[in-house]
Amino acid sequence: MASLILSSELAAYKQAINDHFDTFKRSITVHKQPIKNILQNTTNQLLGYQEDSNIVDYTYTPRNQTFDAIINYNLSKENLQIDDEIKLKFPNQIVEIKVKENAKNYINQDITEKITFDDKTFNLISTDIIKNYQGLIYYVYYLNETK
């Protein structure tokens, strides 16, 4: 099929998109639900009881991984909420992140508890949105800052 874009121009376009990502990327940390480890401590006898005691303790192993992303803070007049009680405006901060496929796969597997960057914590409020740049695929997520 004929194309309006020459293959050499398409390669230069894809390289420019990748260069843009590499220039403006920042690190984000994706935190997953921790793994629950069960530790059983068996003692012979508890004082005051005649039977053996089986005490179960739990430990949690945190899971997180760091990825590169382009972060875009979207703050517009539509995102401002007015609180009538104290007469102040609070931004409802919506943040957009653009990631590559490896980050998308990690975010989509299991339960993502939070995403952190800029010393702030964010919750995921969307599923992945595919951004196709002439065959070069990136994924966009929208996040909401936790308070």
| 7-33+63-145 CATH pick, 2.60.40, 2.40.50, 1.10.357, 2.40.10 | 2.40.10
Domains in the chain: boundaries: 7-33+63-145
User: Residues with Cβ < 8 Å from 83, sequence gap 6 or more?
Assistant: 89, 90
Tokens of 67: 């990825």
Q: How far is CA 115 from CA 27, 67, 87, 146, in A?
A: 11, 10, 31, 10
**pTM, 2 dp:** 0.77
Q: How far is CA 110 from CA 31, 83, 104, in A?
A: 11, 36, 12
| pLDDT tens across the length of the chain (147 residues) | 567 888 889 999 999 999 999 999 999 999 999 988 887 665 555 566 655 556 677 888 999 999 999 999 875 555 556 556 665 555 667 899 999 999 999 999 989 999 999 999 999 999 999 999 988 999 999 999 887
CA distance 113 to 32: 5
